[in-house]
Amino acid sequence: MTPLISLILVFITQIIGYIFFYSKGIKGWRYVLFVILLFLCILVLPDYFIRLYRPKDGLDSTRCGMVDLGVFLFFWMYGVSGAILTHVLFWLGYKIKESK
């Protein structure tokens, strides 16, 4: 699995979860899902992919940290901003639907 596919799966999970929570009328759980997905994008997924891209030689020699920086920035910039954007769009859509 690539980092892009994992982010797409995170967004699909968020959208399906929000649709489920809005259809059931459960408002508080969407914030729990949002925090869990932010935690996933900030800490869990970058560490997983950094371990995936590390050399397999077993010696932890000095190496360039640009791969680590790229993976972290990818998940922080696109993952966190996408999760926030999805959260805000669903919130605005719900407010507009509720006001009609």
Summarised one tens digit per residue, pLDDT across range 19-73 is 999 889 888 899 999 999 999 999 999 988 888 777 655 556 666 777 788 889 9
Higher-pLDDT residue of 79 and 63 is 79
pTM, full prediction: 0.82
- pLDDT score at 61: 62
pLDDT over 80 (residue 74): yes
Domain edges within the chain: 3-53+62-99
98 CB neighbour count, 10 Å cutoff: 7
Q: How far apart are CA 2 and CA 26, in angstroms?
A: 33
Query: Are 41 and 9 spatial neighbours (Cβ–Cβ below 8 Å)?
Result: no
> What confidence category does residue 9 fall into, taking pLDDT thresholds of 50, 70 and 90?
very high
